[in-house]
């Protein structure tokens, strides 16, 4: 699936300038400091906290711009609140978003902790806003999420976009 | 999300993105990427299938353990139910799209932008 080509053609047809994804020559790389069995894992999501005041957020909701968020948020991994993806362009023709496990793997991560595959989760998971203005991500959201990961002693981070 | 992974990695924390939009993630350039060729919204595996989801997560763990450099992508064997690929035809499919449908899509898009702007 070539999403970039499809998206460009779609928005051209609608009369908009197509989104231009950034592309970097250099990619950072860090190595594991300890085994995963001794590592604390941070989970980063593009899902949004469910709100009472913004209408249908699924499962099966139509695109809901009111559920979109513009600031980094964090939630407890021990007692996570409900997060949904109605503000994102997932494939509504072929998936109903009934199972949060397909985009927010907190249960599977807890299974991995129980199995000893990883040492544990950071105290909080973190929500990354999905915004068109890339400077908001590079200058504000990404550094803030990195700061929170460092603050909580994350050894590795798992990021799940939708 | 790719930009967030890059920032966290640059801060010294190894990252892995688990997703379904291969061309987008690889265009940006990230350290590690676990790719499943499934409809968007199912990055972590098949719905109501804990075994599939655990398998996808394990690919993430293994990639964290084994990647020897950046831009390392692995593809999981997860296949979408049915023939595994016909869902791809329907994504932003412009074939046989009427002017009325285009106008509606544009109106919907503008309306949703207005709704989202309230949260800024």
**pTM for this predicted structure:** 0.94
At B56, give phi and psi (nearest 5°): -65, -45
| pLDDT value for B26 | 98
Which residues numbered 7-66 in B keep a CB inside 8 Å of some CB on A? 7-19, 21-25, 27-31, 37, 39-48, 50, 53-54, 57-58, 60-61, 64-65
* Dist CA B51 CA A71 (whole Å): 34
* Dist CA B65 CA A36 (whole Å): 8
**Residue among B64, B105, B113 minimizing CB distance to A32:** B64
- Comparing CA positions, the residue from A86, A79, A102, A100 lying closest to residue A51 is A86
Q: Judge: A65–B113 Cβ closer than 8 Å, yes or no.
A: yes
Residues of A in contact with B9 (CB under 8 A): 28-30
Q: For the complex shown, is ipTM > 0.90?
A: yes
Residue with tokens 């020559």: A25
| pLDDT value for B74 | 98
pLDDT for residue B100 is more than 80 = yes
Size of interface A-B (CB pairs under 8 A): 244
Q: Residue B40 — pLDDT band, cuts 50, 70, 90? A: very high
pLDDT for residue A48 is more than 80 = yes
The CA distances from residue B12 to A11, A81, A143, B100, in Å, are: 37, 29, 13, 51
Rounded mean pLDDT of B48-64?
98
Residues of B in contact with A84 (CB under 8 A): none
pLDDT for residue B96 is more than 80 = no
Percent of chain B with pLDDT over 70: 99
Helix (H, G, I), strand (E, B) or coil at A25: coil
**Residue among A6, A68, A98 minimizing CB distance to B47:** A98
Q: Residue B97 — pLDDT band, cuts 50, 70, 90? A: confident
Rounded mean pLDDT of B65-87?
94
Q: Residue B94 — pLDDT band, cuts 50, 70, 90? A: confident
| pLDDT value for B108 | 87
**Residue among B23, B57, B65 minimizing CB distance to A108:** B57
- Residue A59: cis peptide before it, omega within 30 degrees of 0: yes
Q: Judge: A128–B1 Cβ closer than 8 Å, yes or no.
A: yes
pLDDT tens digits, one per residue of A71-86: 999 999 999 999 999 8
| pLDDT value for B63 | 98
Q: Residue B119 — pLDDT band, cuts 50, 70, 90? A: confident
pLDDT tens digits, one per residue of A106-152: 999 999 999 999 999 999 999 999 988 899 999 999 999 999 999 99
Confirm if A136 and A129 have CB atoms less than 8 A apart.
yes
């Amino acid at each position: 699936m070539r999403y970039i080509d499809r998206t460009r053609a779609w928005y051209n047809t609608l009369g908009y300038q197509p989104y231009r994804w950034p592309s970097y020559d250099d990619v950072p790389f860090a190595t594991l400091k300890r085994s995963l069995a001794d590592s604390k894992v941070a989970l980063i999501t593009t899902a949004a906290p469910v709100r009472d005041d913004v209408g249908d957020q699924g499962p099966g909701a139509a695109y809901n711009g009111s559920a979109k968020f513009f600031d980094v948020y964090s939630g407890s991994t021990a007692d996570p609140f409900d997060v949904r993806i109605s503000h994102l362009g997932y494939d509504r023709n072929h998936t109903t978003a009934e199972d949060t496990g397909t985009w927010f793997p907190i249960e599977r991560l807890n299974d991995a902790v129980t199995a000893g595959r990883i040492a544990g989760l950071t105290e909080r998971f973190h929500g990354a806003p999905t915004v068109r203005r890339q400077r908001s991500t590079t200058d504000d959201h990404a550094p803030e999420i990195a700061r929170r990961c460092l603050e909580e002693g994350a050894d590795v981070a798992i990021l799940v976009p939708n | 999300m790719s930009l967030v992974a890059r920032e966290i990695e640059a801060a010294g924390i190894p990252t892995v993105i688990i997703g379904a939009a291969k061309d987008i993630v690889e265009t940006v350039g990230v350290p590690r990427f676990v790719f499943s060729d499934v409809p968007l919204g199912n990055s972590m595996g098949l719905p109501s299938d804990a075994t599939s989801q655990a398998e996808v997560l394990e690919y993430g763990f293994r990639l964290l353990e084994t990647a020897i450099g950046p831009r390392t992508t692995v593809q999981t064997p997860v296949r979408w139910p049915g023939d595994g690929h016909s869902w791809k035809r329907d994504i932003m499919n412009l074939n046989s799209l009427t002017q009325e449908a285009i106008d509606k899509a544009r109106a919907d898009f503008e309306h949703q932008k207005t709704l989202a702007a309230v949260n800024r």
